[in-house]
Chain A
Amino acid sequence: MNAVTETGAKRLLSGNEAVAHAVWEAGAALASAYPGTPSTEILEVLGGYPDLEAQWGVNEKVALEVAIGASLAGARSFCAMKHVGLNVAADALMSQTLAGVNGGLVIAVADDVGLSSSQNEQDSRYWGRFAHLPVLEPADAQEAHAFTLAAFVLSEEYSCPVLLRLTTRVCHVKTLVTVGPRRPAPERHFIRESRRWVMLPGNARAMIPAQFKREAALAEFAETTDLTQVWEGSDTSLGVITSGPAALSAREALPDVPLLKLGLGYPLPLERIRAFAAGVEKVLVIEETEPLIEQELRAAGLSVHGKDVLPRFGELSVTVLRAGVRTLRGEPAPTPPAETQTAVAAAAQVFPRPPTMCPGCPHLSPFYCLSRLRNSILISGDIGCYTLGAGQPWDAMDTCTCMGASLTLANGLAVGKSGPDANKAVVAVIGDSTFLHMGMQGLLNLVYNRANVTVLLLDNRAVGMTGGQEHPGTGLDLYGKDAPRVDFAALVKALGVKEERLHTVDPYQLPELFKLIRSEIQVDDVSVILTNQPCVLTHRHKARPALKVEEDQCTGCGNCLHVGCPAIQVVRRDQRTTASGAVKDLAFVRIDSAFCTGCGACLGPCGAKCIVPVTAEA
C-alpha cells in the first residue's frame, strides 16, 4: 500500500498519480476507467489505495455510467479516460448534464496534445461548452491534486459533473506535490426523485432552464475564484491569457509579461478578462489546442491575438511561444548557433526508430500471413498494438479509424468495393480488449447483414498497448483477483457466427494459421479466427528455449525478416545472380538470443530450415 501518507507530505508525483491521490483524499467510493494514454495510470494507481473501489470498465461509456450510478447513490465517484474516450462516453455525459449529480462526480479527460499515442488530437475543453459543464485545467501535478479536490466540491455545490481536463504534459510530468490524508466525503444518500433522474422528454425539458441557470452561476463563480490567477509582470506591452501547462511554458518564455491563468477554463470570467486586457497593450491567448477562448473573447468584443501567430495543433512549448511572440511583435527570428544548426541537420539524417511489435509477439505471424496475402485482400484494422501491422515489414493494414471500427468498416468495404478491388476478400483485425470495448456490436452487425468478412480476433489476454491491463477477457480484475473470464468462442457464436466458421488457432503455428486464413477468405460468410497466445509483456507469457541460426547453413534468403521479429538481425548482405541472370539480394541473419522468446514464428518462412533451438548443441 504505497498510498497512505501523512498530512503535508511532499512527494514527487506525476499528474496521474496526483489525481489518483486526490480522488482517494476526497473520500471517493468509486473510480472507473478504460485504459488510454495518457490517462491510464490514474486508475492503475488508484488500485493501490484502500477504501474505494477501482474498476476497469469495458469502455468509457460504461465506465462513466458506472460512476454516474455511484454518484446518484450519494457517493463521490470518479471516471478517467483519454480524449477519444469521451467521444464514446458522450451519450451519457450529454444527458447527465441536465439531471446533474448527487455525490460529487469528476471526469478526468486527458488530451494527447501532440499525438504521442492517439489516432487524433482533440480539445476536450469543447465538452464544457457543449455540455454546459465547468472545466478545470491544472497546469502541473500539484494543481492536478488541488483541482481534483476542488472539482468534487464544485460538483456537489453546482450539482453537475465536473470535467478535469488534463494533457500529456500534466499526466506524465512529475513534480513535487503536497498530499494529505483521506477525508470523509459529505454523507449523502440516493434521492428518490424520478422527475430528476428519469430523462423522459417532459422531465428533461423542464430541467433545461436550470442548466442555464447553473451555467450563469458558474460564470459568476469564475469571476471570483482563486482557481484563476493573475501573475503580475512589468512588460505591459503584452498580456497573456492562458490555461494548463501552456501557462508555465508561457511564463518561462515571457517572464516579464502579465499573465491571466485560467484554472477554471469554462465558463470564462469575462469581467476579469476585460479588466486584465485594459491593463495591457495587446492580448495574446495561448491555448492548447483550439482557439476556444480566443473566439469567445472576440465574440465578446475584445481584440485579441492567438492562432494568427501560434500553431493550431501540437504542444505550445517555450520555443513555439517565443516564435509566436516574435511574429506578433514583428521581430525577425534569431539565427540559431552553428552547433545547433549542424546538430539539427545531422539529427534529421538519423534513421527513424518507429515502435514495433515485440520479439515473440503473437501478432507477428497473423500480420506475416496478411502481408503474404496482401494483393488479394483489403485489411480493416483497429486500435491496439496490432495497428503497428500498418508499418514495416508487414504493410498489412488499409484502414484504422477508432475503437471497434475494424468490423464495421469491413462491412462497408465489403459492400462498397469495386473495380480492381471487386474480387478482393475483406479481412478485419481486432484485439480482445477492443472487441469487448466496441467490437461486439460490429460483429453482430456483420452477421445480421450477411456480410462477407473474415475476422481475425487476436486475443493476447491484455490491453497490450497501454501496458497489459486486465479486462473481462483476462480472468483477473484491476486488483489482480480472479474474475469471471469471458469465453470468446461462446460469445462469438452467441453473436451469430456459425460454429464451422469459428476457428481457434495457436498463432505460433504459422503454417496452420496461414492455411486457415487463406481458406476462410474464400468462404462467403462471416468467419472468425481466434488466436490464443498471451502478450509477451505480461505475466501470462511463458518463454520457450531461445532459437538460433545455424549460420553456416543460412542461405541469405531473408524470408524470416518478413516476420518482423526484432530479435532477427542481419549480419551480412550479399548479392547472387540466379540462373536466369537476375540479381538477388541476400541477407544473412542471426537471432539475438537475449531477445528471442522461442515462439517459432520464424521457423515456417525459413527457406533453409536453419533455425534451431539454442539448447540443441548442448
Chain B
Amino acid sequence: MHRLRQLPARRLPSHPSGSPRPAHHRQRRGQGSRLRAYRQRVLYRLRRLPRPLRRQVHRSRDGGGLRSMNTCVSVPPATLADTVTNVMLCGIGGQGVLTAAEVLAAAAVREGFDVKKTEVAGMAQRGGVVTSHVRMGPRVLAPAIAPGEADILIGFEAAEALRGAAHLRPGAVIVVSDLQVKPPVVHQGLFAYPDDPISALRAQGWTVRAIPARDIAERLGSLRLMNTVMLGAIGDLLPVPATVLRAQVVDNFRKRKPALADLNGQAFDEGRAAAERG
C-alpha cells in the first residue's frame, strides 16, 4: 500500500512532454514568440486558479485513506465443514419468498451468526420460479448453496418443492406448503402439473412436513400470511431459536405495518404447531 503515496504527479496523464507544447507542434512551427505567448497564457491561467488548486496542479495528490482502510474480507479459516446451515426457500414470484428469506437472514444475524443470503430472481416478479438461499454459521464463504448440500427446504408451493428437492443433502428436511399454483403453460395445455408433489417427495425418502399454509392464512384473514406460517413451520429446525425468529418476524412488521405484527405472530405460532403435527 505504501507505494500508492509515492507516485509523483509526473506519472499522471497530464501533458506528458516536459515542454509546454507538443513536440510535433514545435517542429512544425518552432516560433519562440508563440512559445512565450503560450507560457504567458498558462501562467495567467494558473494565477486565476484558486490557491489550493494551484498546488494541486504541481504536486502529487494525497492518496490517503487507502492505507487506513480494511479493504478485504478477512482471511477465511481453512476448515469450516459442517458448521454452516443451508436453508433453501423456493416458490413463485409474488409469494413473499424473498421477504421470508430476508427475515430468516436477519434472525440469524440477531443470533450472532455470519450470514449469506442470495437469490435468483432475475425475472421472478413475472410469475417465474424464485429460489432463495440463506446460509448461516460461524463463518460463511460461498454465496450460494451447492447442489446436494441444502439442509432444509422450505417449499412455498408444492411443485416448486419437488423441483427444489434436487438441491438437498441426504437426510434433509422439507417443509412444504400444500398450495398448488398452476402456471399459464399448464392452463394452456402445454405441460401437466404433477399429480401429488408431496407424496412424490415422501416417496423419495425425505423427511417431509406438509403445512396447510393456505388454510391457516385464510382462517387468520389474509393469504399474505402464508409466508409467515411457513417461517413458523421451520421454527424448530434451525440453529436460531424459534423465539428469535418469531421476534424478528414480529419486529419486521412492527416497523412497517404495526397493525399486522400480532397477526403475523399468530400465523407464526400456527405454522409452528402445524409442523409439529406435520
Contacts and interface: CB of A to CB of B under 8 A. Distances in A.
A351 B93 CA distance: 16
Interface in B34-82: 45, 49-50, 52-53, 56-57, 61-66, 69-73, 75-81
A385 B123 CA distance: 9
Contact of A566 (B3, B50, B127, B160): B127
Given A157-B61, A353-B92, A392-B184, 10 more contacts: A116-B122, A150-B65, A172-B121, A233-B78, A245-B143, A252-B80, A338-B205, A351-B159, A353-B185, A566-B184
Contact of B106 (A12, A149, A150, A349): A12
B157 to A, nearest CB: 9
Interface string A235-259: 0000000000100110111011000
B206 interface: yes
Interface stretch (B16-24, B227-235, B260-268, B270-278): B16-24
B66 A153 contact: yes
B96 to A, nearest CB: 15
A153 B70 contact: no
Nearest to B81: A255
A243 B181 CA distance: 41
A23 B120 CA distance: 26
B125 A537 contact: yes
Interface in B148-168: 148-149, 159-160, 162-166, 168
B159 A350 contact: yes
A186 B146 contact: no
Contacts of B61: 156-157, 186
Interface residues of B, number: 100
Given A159-B12, A214-B12, A585 B183 contact: no
A360 interface: no
Interface string B91-106: 0110000000010011
B122 A146 contact: no
B193 A210 contact: no
Interface stretch (A189-197, A277-285, A424-432, A543-551): A189-197
A569 B127 CA distance: 14
Interface string A379-402: 000000100100011000000000
Nearest to A344: B166
Contacts of A117: 122-123
The B contact surface, by secondary structure, is loop
A118 B141 CA distance: 26
Given A150-B71, A248-B143, A220 B3 contact: yes
B259 interface: no
Interface residues of A, number: 118
Contact of B204 (A195, A343, A354): A343
13 contacts: A116-B123, A139-B73, A157-B4, A174-B117, A213-B11, A225-B1, A225-B4, A245-B143, A252-B80, A263-B72, A351-B186, A353-B129, A355-B93
For B64, B73, B193, the residue with the greatest tally of chain A CB atoms inside 10 Å of its CB is B73
Given A175-B116, A193-B14, A207-B13, A356 B183 contact: yes
Contacts of A231: 75-76
B12 A158 contact: yes
A325 interface: no
Given A140-B73, A186-B61, A338-B205, A355 B124 contact: yes
Nearest to A147: B71
A570 interface: yes
A482 interface: no
B126 interface: yes
Interface string A576-603: 0000000001010100001000000000
A339 B168 contact: yes
